[in-house]
């Protein structure tokens, strides 16, 4: 395992790739967006930006699942937590995301039953232990986490666990990338495509983007030489006036992806319109439970009256995730908004752009 880390963090190979990028980079500005929050964190951690010529600008995109989850989802979870017959279960980061008026963390401090899980299977175990409660797992994430959430639902059916439910807010990548390209907010000349998502989906989902928008799409790993090699591939495509799907992360990502995981997703979920923080509703960009599994959707059992959804005044998370602004443009950043007291979703998760800027700002 160490081999697959150390071999991709060696200084001399990284500097050689950076030198090639500097040699081939055109004089005009190229703007490349890394879609995945894991890439954003790695780019800051390893100082990738400092190795690139001034003509290449990296933009951070909407690849953090916690960050793109809109306030309405958080507000819905908070309203559910107010019910005495409900236990809310969630991944750790979600508990700290501020909603319109409060957070799940604040709700838990008031005595509401809100539990952090490492896996949806942990939530399923809680449901088995509490048969008189409705145990709701907040299902957020992209194609990466969707299969394990789907398996938890399959298992609930097989084991006849009827008190396990999802608050489903899963999202998918391709339509979001298209929405960014069709926006007038920012120019994107190439995508550093997410490695973990692509390990599930394969490469075919990027082909329509390349064909329709004539934009390079290269799937990347998460180590320094991975990211630098990906940038080199994108820049070469641009200077050669071509666009293609390429796979830098060949040691993990295959063209067909994980066929078993894709079969599980197709058997439980159907595409649906989904709301993204800062972007709005994108048609067919989410997963909803199919009709045959709708019984596990908590909103098919409980009617909620959600108060007016509001955003934190001054927070520009939405513009940051579209690549229109950086955290340095936000008046709240590092003053009012810190990892200890996040005012916006991008400061909560380690994959959030604001969190990365804050941690590595020096």
> Would you state the pLDDT for residue 2?
46
Q: What is the pLDDT of residues 237-282, one digit of tens each?
A: 999 999 999 999 999 999 999 999 999 999 999 999 999 988 899 9
Task: Tokens for 122, please give them.
Answer: 């942990």
Q: What is the pLDDT of residues 147-180, one digit of tens each?
A: 999 999 999 999 999 999 999 999 999 999 999 9
Could you tell me which residues are beta bridge partners of residue 30?
A: 56
Q: What is the mean pLDDT of residues 282-286?
A: 95
Neighbours of 253 (CB within 10 A): 25
Percent of the chain with pLDDT over 90: 89
Region of 139 (left: φ > 0; alpha: ψ -120 to 50; beta: rest) is beta
Q: What is the mean pLDDT of residues 15-32?
A: 95
Domains of the chain: 15-58+175-247 (3.40.50.11750), 66-172+257-300 (3.40.50.11740)
> Would you state the pLDDT for residue 5?
67
Q: What is the mean pLDDT of residues 24-47?
A: 94
Question: How far, in Å, are 71, 84, 91, 276, 340 from residue 101 at the CA level?
Answer: 9, 20, 20, 19, 18
What is the pLDDT of the chain when averaged over all its residues? 94
């Amino acid at each position: 395992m160490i081999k697959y880390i150390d071999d991709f963090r060696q200084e001399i190979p990284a500097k050689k790739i950076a030198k090639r990028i500097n040699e081939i980079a055109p004089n005009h500005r190229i703007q490349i967006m890394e879609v995945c929050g894991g890439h954003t964190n790695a780019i800051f951690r390893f100082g990738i930006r400092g190795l690139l010529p001034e003509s290449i600008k990296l933009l951070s995109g909407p690849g953090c699942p916690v960050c793109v989850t809109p306030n309405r989802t958080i507000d819905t979870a908070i309203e559910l937590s107010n019910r005495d017959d409900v236990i809310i279960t969630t991944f750790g980061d979600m508990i700290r995301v501020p909603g319109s008026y409060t957070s799940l963390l604040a709700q838990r401090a008031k005595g509401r039953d809100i539990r952090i899980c490492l896996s949806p299977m942990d939530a399923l175990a809680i449901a088995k232990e509490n048969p008189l409660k409705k145990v709701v797992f907040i299902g957020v994430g992209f194609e990466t986490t969707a299969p394990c959430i789907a398996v938890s639902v399959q298992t609930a059916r097989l084991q006849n666990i009827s008190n396990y439910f999802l608050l489903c807010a899963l999202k998918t990548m391709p339509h979001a990338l298209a929405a960014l390209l069709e926006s007038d907010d920012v120019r994107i000349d190439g995508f550093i495509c997410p490695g973990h998502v692509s390990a599930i989906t394969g490469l075919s989902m990027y082909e329509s983007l390349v064909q329709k928008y004539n934009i390079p799409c290269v799937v990347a790993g998460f180590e320094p030489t991975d990211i630098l090699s990906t940038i080199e591939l994108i820049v070469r495509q641009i200077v050669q006036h071509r666009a293609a799907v390429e796979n830098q992360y060949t040691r993990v990502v295959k063209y067909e992806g994980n066929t078993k995981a894709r079969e599980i997703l197709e058997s439980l979920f159907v595409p649906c319109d989904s709301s993204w923080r800062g972007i709005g509703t994108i048609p067919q960009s989410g997963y909803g439970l199919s009709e045959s599994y709708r019984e596990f959707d908590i909103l098919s059992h409980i009617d909620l009256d959600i108060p007016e959804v509001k955003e934190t005044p001054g927070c520009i998370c939405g513009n940051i995730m579209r690549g229109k602004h950086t955290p340095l443009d936000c008046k709240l950043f590092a003053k009012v908004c810190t990892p200890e007291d996040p005012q916006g979703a991008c400061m909560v998760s380690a994959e959030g752009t604001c969190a990365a800027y804050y941690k590595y700002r020096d």
